[in-house]
Amino acid sequence: MTGAGDADHNVPAVAAGELPTLLAFLDYLRECVDRKLDGLSEDDARRSPVASGTCVLGLVKHLALVEAYWAQRRLAGLDIALAGDGFTLADDDDVTSVRRAYALAARRTNEIVTACEDLNRPLARGRHGLTVRWMLTDLLEETARHAGHADILRELIDGHRGR
pTM listed for this prediction: 0.91
Q: Average pLDDT, stretch 21-25?
A: 95
User: Is 119 within a domain?
Assistant: yes
Cβ burial, residue 155 (10 Å; 0-12/13-18/19+): middle
Instruction: Please state, in angstroms and rounded to a whole number, the distance separating the CA atoms of residues 89 and 61.
Output: 8
53-109 residue pLDDT tens: 999 999 999 999 999 999 999 999 999 988 888 899 999 999 999 999 999 999 999
Domain that holds residue 131: 18-158
Q: Which of 20, 8, 3, 113 is nearest to 67 (CA)?
A: 113
Distance CA 65, CA 123 (A): 17
| Residue range 126-154, pLDDT digits in tens | 878 899 999 999 999 999 999 999 999 99
Q: Do the beta carbons of residue 70 and residue 130 sit within 8 Å?
A: no
How far is residue 56's CA from residue 129's CA, in Å, rounded to a whole number?
33
Confirm whether 129 is domain-assigned: yes
Instruction: Identify the CATH number of the domain in which residue 77 sits.
Output: 1.20.120.450
Would you say residue 100 lies in a domain?
yes
Number of domains in the chain: 1
